[in-house]
Amino acid sequence: KIMVTGALGQIGSELITKLRSEYGTENVLATDIRRMDSATEGPFEILDVTDANNMHALAKDFGADTMMHMAALLSAKAEDEPLFAWNLNMGGLMNALEVSRELDMQFFTPSSIGAFGPSTPKKDTPQDTLQRPTTMYGVNKVAGELLCDYYFHKFGMDTRGVRFPGLISYVAQPGGGTTDYAVDIYYKALEEGKYTSYIAEGTRMDMMYMPDALQAIVDLMEADPTKLIHRNAFNVTAMSFEPSEIAASIKKQIPTFEMAYDVDPVRQAIADSWPDSIDPTAAINEWGFKANYDLDKMTVDMLSKLKIKLNV
């Protein structure tokens, strides 16, 4: 029985659907700080992850044996409000780890390519390498990785995580990320036929389509623990592209699409501090990670799904 925090977030909102189809609706408790807008079936509770007592009570009452902690403030928002980001990202994580330890739960939380910094090798970034991020979000992610490994070594907790690249999806729009230009571009391509990117041409970053991200979570959590050399957190990626390449992929489907640039220095600085492409070999070798969507396959699926969602 799985408890999910941040169930209304970009990953959380689709993770709930994925987990309920894999394990049964009644076995997945969705929680978030506000009520679900669309009245979907299945267990849901209001939870502020900085409230340890409520988190413990909900997990205990539900009989959860697995915690998937997805609630967090993303990179750009965290740069705007670093203190709030620290309290939410680290306070929430510590509560989720403690509740999971007390109730003997298996544990998952995502890290990010944001856990790397300017001094990290940018090409084929190794699984084990220098991590000195220059953003509050990155500090939170590195600290989070170390904390999750600590709970594994110190308390024998079954903690597992992946370093997600930028995630692209059409269900819930991301809030406050840096890679979100790669989501916004699809909406604007259909709504306006053009997009003005806040990330500069030539800025290469790792990306992944949401279906591959959700499958990676399930595959990692079901992996044979004796095969895991690493735990928190595995590099995973499906593709690496820069704005002009996603624009070209969209142009193949919408020939009249036009791309422009108006760089946002804050989010550009964040993007520049991250790797260009990371090496997912450890995830492939230790638990069979694989991605099914490349850029063009993702573009075709995103545009077809958004045409329905936007009714265009």
Instruction: Based on the shown chain and the rule CB under 6 A, indicate whether residue 74 belongs to the binding site for ligand VAH.
Output: yes
User: Of residues 138-177, which lie at the interface with ligand VAH (CB under 6 A)?
Assistant: 165-167, 174, 177
Instruction: Based on the shown chain and the rule CB under 6 A, indicate whether residue 12 belongs to the binding site for ligand VAH.
Output: no
**Rounded distance, CA 266 to CA 81, Å?**
13
* Helix, strand or coil, per DSSP, at residue 124: strand
Applying CB under 6 A, which of residues 95, 179, 237, 299 lies at the interface with ligand VAH? Answer: 179
Name the catalytic one among 137, 181, 198, 209.
137
Measured from the CB of residue 179, what is the shortest distance to ligand VAH in angstroms? Answer: 4
| Cβ-based nearer residue to ligand VAH, 30 or 136 | 136
Measured from the CB of residue 266, what is the shortest distance to ligand VAH in angstroms? Answer: 12
Binding range to ligand VAH, per CB under 6 A, among 111-119, 147-155, 282-290, 296-304: 111-119
- End-to-end CA, the chain: 39
Instruction: Determine whether 186 is an active site residue.
Output: no
Residues that bind ligand VAH (rule: CB under 6 A) add up to a total of 13
CB 200 within 8 A of CB 261: yes
CB 31 within 8 A of CB 7: yes
Binding range to ligand VAH, per CB under 6 A, among 15-23, 57-65, 107-115, 221-229: 107-115
- The kind and range of the H/E element at 111 are strand 111-112
Instruction: Based on the shown chain and the rule CB under 6 A, indicate whether residue 112 belongs to the binding site for ligand VAH.
Output: yes
User: Residues with catalytic annotation?
Assistant: 137
Binding residues for ligand VAH (CB under 6 A): 74-75, 112-114, 137, 165-167, 174, 177-179
